[in-house]
Chain A
Amino acid sequence: MRNLDTGKANTWCPACGNFGILNAVKMAFNQLFDSGLNPATLAITCGIGCHGKIFDYLNVSGIYGLHGRAVATASGIKLANPELQVLSFGGDGDSLGEGLEHTLFAAKRNLDITLILHNNGNYGLTTGQFSPLSPLGFRGLSSPQGSVEEPFQAIPLLLISGASFVARAYSANPKQLASIIRQGVEHKGFSFIEVLQPCVSYNNTYSYYNQHVKELESRPADIMEAIRIANDAETIWTGVYYQTEKPTYHESAPGLANPAMQRPDQPARLEMLRSLNLI
């Protein structure tokens, strides 16, 4: 069995929500290995942020990429190597700011990857600027008088963009998160998991979340109901909001040569062009 620890010294703040996510990820990986996932086929990608440090704490193959490009590199890996299980870690600034288009297009294409979004509601690594998911009025270094922007609604955004598995979890409930991660990885299609992650340094939401977070009692009937429940003003519901089976990108494109796997030589390429009546 793969030892998932790297032994690297941890530099998250004590009590950071990321510890809960790391624990949940390791639990989920071990569960997946137990049910037959070959560790050799697991690959992760990270962007830049406090979330990104998880790359150094997991003994798993992958790419520690540029800010916002976690989903881009994950998409590339899956397209080139469809037999791999690809898991992407992103932040609210990383995947819904700089990398917004990568995230939405991966959902639109229903690429068979999983995105775990560490939602701490600010740019933590750079000391607390407001992010695409910060609430209106958030006071940070770049918005000392309070942010004047409304946040994106992550779950509705991803539902409308075509994600086929959408869930929300809380870093202080790692057992639930581990189960959701496992379901997301096993799901064939784009899996989006928003994780509420308190940031003890710049956006300490532990107390607020502990009072307002509840587990969904039943799954919403359809996308519109899921959107309504995700936007509940009183309660922040966690659990699986939506799951559906629909064609994944790499399975829908038969007959297209995969340039990483197959490199047809020149005679074969000429023959392909002839068969399409292009020459």
Chain B
Amino acid sequence: MQNVTFPTDSHPDATALLPDSKEGYKRYTITDNGISPLLFPPSDEVIKWNSHEHLESGLRTDQADTMVAMQDKRDRKPIEAACAKYERFAIYGKGKRRIFAYGSTALEIREAMKHLIDDYQLVVPIYLEPLPIEELLPYCDEPAIVVEHNSKPRFAQFLKEKLGLQSRADILRYDGRAWDPIELAKRIMEVDHA
């Protein structure tokens, strides 16, 4: 048994941890799914990690064909598929009027939503890269309010570029302070009842 433990609910196919030392082991074995099996010392097999481009054995190389083969191997890793197992966005509420935000701003809006008269729905992307575009597009059919702690609507711009989302208002706050829930609720209501 290897002398290292991973959380029991990890995905074994993604970690590719070898159960035991195997003869002829190479740290950067080229595989179909791009994942080279992991082994940790102590080990009779030599394990060479290399921050520079490398051969399968872990020795450093600058050979063009190896660089291409190794880059192709890394590109084959099923990153998108592995990320799909995680919650990559969150939805709060069922209203037709939508608000978009990220990070701690979402918590401020969830507080504010307790003081709103109308029905709102808060959409919170959690993974910005890779952005779960297919799952988010259904929420982008109407213009939304975008709330962010930036001096310019950068997050709104990001959503526009990635999802085609139109803003019906950008609520910006950039004085280094969090929103009071009632103040934020008032600002949101001003947008739709001005």
Interface residues of A (CB under 8 A from B): 6, 8, 38-41, 43, 53, 55-56, 59-66, 81, 83-84, 260-263
B48 interface neighbour in A40, A64, A261, A263, Cβ under 8 Å: A64
Q: Give the top 7 A-B pairs by smallest Cβ distance, nearest first.
A: A40-B42, A63-B49, A64-B50, A61-B47, A41-B42, A56-B59, A40-B44
Task: State whether B51 touches A64 (Cβ < 8 A).
Answer: yes
Task: State whether B3 touches A61 (Cβ < 8 A).
Answer: no
Q: What residues of chain A lie closer than 8 Å to B4, measured between beta carbons?
A: 260-261
Asked if B78 is at the interface (CB within 8 A of a chain A CB), the reply is: no
Task: State whether B51 touches A83 (Cβ < 8 A).
Answer: no
Task: State whether B41 touches A61 (Cβ < 8 A).
Answer: yes
Docked pose: A145 CA to B68 CA in angstroms? 43
Asked if B43 is at the interface (CB within 8 A of a chain A CB), the reply is: yes
Q: What residues of chain A lie closer than 8 Å to B49, measured between beta carbons?
A: 62-64
Chosen A-B contacts, 16 in total, with CB atoms closer than 8 Å, are: A6-B59, A38-B42, A40-B41, A40-B44, A55-B50, A61-B43, A61-B46, A61-B47, A64-B50, A64-B52, A64-B58, A66-B51, A260-B4, A261-B3, A261-B5, A263-B7
Asked if B120 is at the interface (CB within 8 A of a chain A CB), the reply is: no
B73 CB to closest chain A CB, in angstroms?
18
Closest to B44 in A: A40
Q: What residues of chain B lie closer than 8 Å to A261, measured between beta carbons?
A: 3-5
Docked pose: A175 CA to B46 CA in angstroms? 26
B41-67, CB < 8 A from A: 41-44, 46-52, 57-60
Q: What residues of chain A lie closer than 8 Å to B43, measured between beta carbons?
A: 40, 61
Q: Check A65/B51 contact, CB under 8 A, given A56-B59, A81-B41, A84-B42.
A: yes
Q: What residues of chain A lie closer than 8 Å to B92, measured between beta carbons?
A: none
Task: State whether B51 touches A43 (Cβ < 8 A).
Answer: no
Q: What residues of chain B lie closer than 8 Å to A38, measured between beta carbons?
A: 42
Task: State whether B41 touches A84 (Cβ < 8 A).
Answer: yes
Closest to A6 in B: B59
Q: What residues of chain B lie closer than 8 Å to A65, measured between beta carbons?
A: 51
Task: State whether A64 touches B60 (Cβ < 8 A).
Answer: yes
B5 interface neighbour in A6, A64, A263, Cβ under 8 Å: A263
Task: State whether A59 touches B46 (Cβ < 8 A).
Answer: yes
Q: Check A81/B51 contact, CB under 8 A, given A6-B59, A8-B59, A60-B46.
A: no
B15 CB to closest chain A CB, in angstroms?
14
B29 CB to closest chain A CB, in angstroms?
16
Task: State whether B46 touches A81 (Cβ < 8 A).
Answer: no
Asked if B179 is at the interface (CB within 8 A of a chain A CB), the reply is: no
Contacts A38-B42, A40-B43 supplied; 20 other A-B pairs, CB < 8 Å:
A6-B57, A6-B59, A8-B59, A39-B44, A40-B41, A40-B42, A53-B60, A55-B60, A56-B59, A61-B46, A61-B48, A63-B50, A64-B50, A64-B58, A65-B51, A66-B51, A81-B42, A261-B3, A262-B5, A263-B5
Docked pose: A39 CA to B49 CA in angstroms? 17
Asked if B40 is at the interface (CB within 8 A of a chain A CB), the reply is: yes
A4 CB to closest chain B CB, in angstroms?
10
Q: What residues of chain B lie closer than 8 Å to A62, measured between beta carbons?
A: 48-49
Q: Specify which of A41, A43, A53, A64 lies most central, judged by the most chain B CB atoms within 10 Å of its CB.
A: A64
Q: What residues of chain A lie closer than 8 Å to B60, measured between beta carbons?
A: 53, 55-56, 64
Could you give, for residues 18-52 of chain B, a 1 whenever the CB lies within 8 Å of some chain A CB and a 0 otherwise?
00000000000000000000001111101111111
Q: What residues of chain B lie closer than 8 Å to A56, measured between beta carbons?
A: 59-60
Q: What residues of chain B lie closer than 8 Å to A63, measured between beta carbons?
A: 49-51
Q: What residues of chain A lie closer than 8 Å to B48, measured between beta carbons?
A: 55, 61-62, 64
Task: State whether B42 touches A83 (Cβ < 8 A).
Answer: yes
B146 CB to closest chain A CB, in angstroms?
36
Closest to B47 in A: A61
A43 interface neighbour in B6, B41, B57, Cβ under 8 Å: B41
B176 CB to closest chain A CB, in angstroms?
30
